Structure formats: C-alpha cells, structure tokens
Structure 1
Amino acid sequence: MPTMLSMHAHYILLVVASLAAGAINAAAAGGSFLSFPAMLGMGIPPVQANATNTVAIWPGQLTSVLKLRNDLRRELIIVALIASVIGGVGGALILLWLPQRVFLYVLPWMILASTLLFLFSARISGWLRKETNHPHAHRHVQPLLLLPLLLPVCLYIGYFGAGGGLMVMALLALLGVDDMHQLNSMKVLVACLSNFSAVVTFIVERAVVWHYCFIAMIAAGIGGYIGAHYARKLPQRAMRIVVILVGFGVSGYFFYRNLHPSH
C-alpha cells in the first residue's frame, strides 16, 4: 500500500505533469508523454490511464479548433468528421476490448514511434514549408481518396494518439494541401474530432477515473492557457528536447517492464 507521503507526491506529479502537458500542447506537441506516465503513477491500469488522459486533455484541443477555424478547408470537413468519428470510436473500442497485456506490449513501440516522429517533425515541417514557398493554384483534394487513407490514422488516434497529428499533416500534404495554416488547422480538427469520439466512447464504457481526470483537466487547462499566451516567448527548443527525452525514457521503461514483468 502506498504511504500518504507517496500519494501526495504522486498527486503533485500529476498536477505538474498536466500543467506542463497543457503548455507543451499549446506551444508545440507531445504533452501526453508527460501526462500519461503521471496518470499511470496514480496506480491506474494502463488502458484506463490512457482513457482518462485522453478525456483530460481534450478541452484544450477544442479551444485550438475554435481559434484556427478560419483556416480550415471547408470541402474536407465532412470527410474529416466521418473518418474521425469512425476511427475515434473504433480505436477506443479496440483499446477497451483487447486485454491490458496487449496494450502493454504495443505501448512502448507506439511511444517510441511517436517520439521518433516528434524528433523528426522539424524536418517534416521544413519540407512542408519548402513546398509552400512555391506559389501555385489552390489544389483540389479528392474526398473519396482522402477518406480511406485518413481512417487508419483516426483509428490510431482513438487507440493511443501521440504523433497522430503529424501523420494527418503528412497525409494531407501528399494529397495536395500545401498551405501550412490549412495543414495545421486540419490537423487540430481531425485530432479534436477523433479524440472527442474516443472520449464519448470511454465515458459510455465507464473507463474514465473521474477523480484524477478532473485534476488533470484543470491543470492542463491552466497550462494550455499559459502556453498559448507565452507560446512565442517559451524556449521551444528546450521544450522539444524535454519531450523527446521523456518519450525515449518512457518507452525504454515499458520495454524493460515487458521484459521483466516482476519489476
């Protein structure tokens, strides 16, 4: 049984990690690398910890969509909605229906892949910006082509999600969306809708530990407000380094845990 002192320390860690996660998500990305392990530290099983963390950080995504709504590609919103709802619900149900050990097995691989994606996100963004430096006409994206390609990404977002936003941006860029503001706004929209679908599923299936969720939600909301306000002043390079180190550390911990389940 954890001592009262250790429980207080875990509560403090959850608040601090959620504050940092909200700030990082507002200024860059990858906040779940901090808030998800902190949720696990409260003694919640991994699947419920992931569900609770998803619910806690979702309100910040909604405010981002509202702020970026003017940059959305209107003709792609319906497709994004369909893919996000189906993928978000499907990914959440897969998470809840599969045994905990399956999630524990794939978890370090997903975190490692997401960390590597985040590590090289600057190069991906640089490539996307290079593409936008060549002016050309507004390119049409075929919705019927986008739907089957976007569905697996939304499925992943509903199941775990970290790094899914960059997948959305890369996919849309390959299909012809070449404006960085449109790419970013569509990324936020897809992530928000997919996670909302997962959130509803988690709530209906009673997979959310509300006591910890409310604490993390309030802290992440405060952190998100602070991060959005000071986004241009924060040392983003240092924040990215922290996220990457935490991502590698967390994935390494779960690789070790899977190899030595008694520890």
Structure 2
Amino acid sequence: MPDISQCIWLCLAAAVAGGVNALAGGGTLLTFPALIAAMRALGYEEDLAAVLANGTSTVALAPASFSSAWAYRQDLMKEWKWLKLLIGPSIVGGVLGTWLVTSTNPKYFGALVPWLIFGASLLFALQPLLTKKKAIEKADLPQPVPEHSLGKLMAIVLFQFMVAIYGGYFGAGIGILMLSALSLIGLSNMHEMNAIKTVLAGCINCMSVLVFTYKQKIHWPIAAMMMASAIAGGYLAAAFGRKVKPIYIRWLVIVIGFTLSAWYFYQRFTAK
C-alpha cells in the first residue's frame, strides 16, 4: 500500500472525481494520474502502471455512478424509455473496450495515455458547446422531445455503443459524450440527462470491472479505499448539484487535464 499521505490524496481525488462525474463527467482525469503515481511508487513498470491505474480507477468510481443515479431517481423515471434503449449497447461496448485494453501489450496503452488525457480534457472544455448551452440554461423548463425515425434511433444506439467501447478502454470524458448525444436526441433538462448518463456510465463501468477482475488488472486494496470516497462524493454532488454551480470544479478539472497531458507528452518524448 502507498504511504499515508498518498492514501489521503487518493481518497480526496476519488471523492472529487465522484462528484465531478455526477455533475458532468471527467472524474477519471483526477483519479487516473493520482493512481499512476501510486503504482509507480509501488514499483510497477511504467506501462503496466498505466493499465493498473486504469483498472483501479474504474473500480473505484463505478459504484459512485449508481449512488448518483439514486439521488437522481425522480428525474430518471421521466426518461425511462431512453434508458431502456441504451443500456444494451452500453453493456456490450463496455465489455469489448475493456477486453481490448487488457488483451493488448501494455506499451500501446501507455503510449496512448497522453493523447487520451488530452482528448478527454478537450471534450470537457468544449462541453458547453457540445451539449448546447441554450439547453443547459433552460434545464429546469419542460421541453418537448421530438419523435425519431428508425434510422436515427439506430444511429443513437450505434453512437452509444462506440462511446461504451471507448469507456471500457479508458473512460475519461464518456459523460460529456453521452450528454452531447442526449442533447441531440432532444433532451434539454440537465438533471434528467445526468440521471440517464450516470446509469449508463455505471453499466459501462460494471462491465469493465468484471473484465479487469478476470484479467487481474486491479489493485484491490487501493480500489476499495477509494471506492467509499467516490460514493460519498458522487451522492453529495448529485444531491446538492441543483444548488451549486459546478463551474469552478469544471475549470479546475480542465486545467489539471491539460497540464497532465502536457506532462505525459513531455515524459514520452524525452524518455530515452
């Protein structure tokens, strides 16, 4: 196990990440780098440390999705039909993505880490544009949801399947992608959209947990320690999210994400 100061830092990162995921997404940008540092401190080789950090982060944050969903339960029932449509592709895609990251050489995932963090940070920064700012500003107003053709419904399912594959592979930013898709469907109430997003993210992460467990890519003592903090952070953020504007947390995550991606790029390109 890491020393006491690092354990405190890991629990704090998990709590904030659980809250960030409940409100928008991007919590992995906090837990993943903290876990890489912890794995390095425990003596794991660089690329294997990244894979272990990925699996451990997924396990730590997965239950927080469902604690957030419970807090959103009243909003969730209003859009139950979309949840039923998208759960299937979320489960299958989550399994495929996680199987891919655990079945390939760790060096490939290690090489992708800077790009994955940068891409997730960019998605997080562009979230107001991707989720239509006007819809966000009218989050508390009931908005009609248009009818969709079979072709558009299939496109929505396919998009969610691709998001789930990415979520199983890495995960950071899937909340932003799903909020973007839900806004394109015609949903505009952010509380209802967050409710659907948290359940779908939970399905993806649960499938990832099963595969990571089977492939033995999880540091269980650290994961268990972080899990309780993430659950508390996710529930509190969802419960009080209506009263608190998450703008400051959002920008903190954005700054951290871009800074970390720059640091990992520097490490990759200067490594001998």
| TM surpasses 0.5 | yes
Question: What corresponds to 1:55 in structure 2?
Answer: 59
Alignment partner of 1:42: what SS?
helix
Deviations 1:191-227 (A, max 9, x none): 1111111112112222211011111112223333444
Alignment partner of 1:41: what SS?
helix
Distance 1:30 1:226, change over 3 A: same
Query: Within 1, Cα distance between the matches of 2:34 and 2:203?
Result: 25
Q: Are the counterparts in 2 of residues 140 and 176 from structure 1 also a CA contact under 8 Å?
A: no
Alignment partner of 2:72: what SS?
helix
Query: Within 2, Cα distance between the matches of 1:147 and 1:259?
Result: 38
Which residue identity is paired with 1:39? L
Query: Within 1, Cα distance between the matches of 2:205 and 2:218?
Result: 14
Question: What corresponds to 1:172 in structure 2?
Answer: 182
Q: CA offset at residue 119 of structure 1?
A: 1.2
Distance 1:256 1:74, change over 3 A: same
Select between 53-62 and 164-173 the one with higher mean Cα deviation. Answer: 164-173
Query: Within 1, Cα distance between the matches of 2:190 and 2:177?
Result: 14
Gaps of 5+ in 2: none
Question: What corresponds to 1:128 in structure 2?
Answer: 135
CA RMSD of aligned residues (A): 2.7
Alignment partner of 1:30: what SS?
coil
Q: CA offset at residue 189 of structure 1?
A: 2.1
Query: Within 2, Cα distance between the matches of 1:46 and 1:208?
Result: 11
> What is the identity percentage for the equivalent residue pairs of Structure 1 and Structure 2?
30
Deviations 1:65-111 (A, max 9, x none): 22323434332333312101110000100110121111112211111
Query: Within 2, Cα distance between the matches of 1:172 and 1:220?
Result: 25
Distance 1:136 1:32, change over 3 A: closer
Q: Are the counterparts in 1 of residues 71 and 235 from structure 2 also a CA contact under 8 Å?
A: no
Question: What corresponds to 1:21 in structure 2?
Answer: 17
Question: What corresponds to 1:221 in structure 2?
Answer: 231
Question: How many equivalent residue pairs?
Answer: 258
Q: Are the counterparts in 2 of residues 115 and 248 from structure 1 also a CA contact under 8 Å?
A: yes
Which residue identity is paired with 2:5? A
Question: What corresponds to 2:87 in structure 1?
Answer: 81
Alignment partner of 2:194: what SS?
helix
Query: Within 2, Cα distance between the matches of 1:172 and 1:253?
Result: 33
Query: How do residues 174-253 of structure 1 correspond to structure 2 at under 5 angstroms?
Result: 174-228=184-238, 230-231=240-241, 236-253=246-263
Q: CA offset at residue 161 of structure 1?
A: 1.3
Query: Within 2, Cα distance between the matches of 1:131 and 1:222?
Result: 28
Which residue of 155, 161, 164 corresponds with 1:145?
155
Which residue identity is paired with 2:147? H
Which residue of 6, 10, 17 corresponds with 1:10?
6
Which residue identity is paired with 1:251? S
Query: Within 1, Cα distance between the matches of 2:91 and 2:130?
Result: 27
Distance 1:215 1:116, change over 3 A: same
Question: What corresponds to 1:100 in structure 2?
Answer: 106
Deviations 1:139-175 (A, max 9, x none): 2344433222221111111111111112112223223
Query: Within 2, Cα distance between the matches of 1:78 and 1:225?
Result: 23
Q: When the two structures are superposed, what TM-score results if normalisation uses the length of structure 1?
A: 0.86
Q: Are the counterparts in 2 of residues 111 and 247 from structure 1 also a CA contact under 8 Å?
A: yes
Which residue of 71, 84, 97 corresponds with 1:67?
71
Alignment partner of 1:193: what SS?
helix
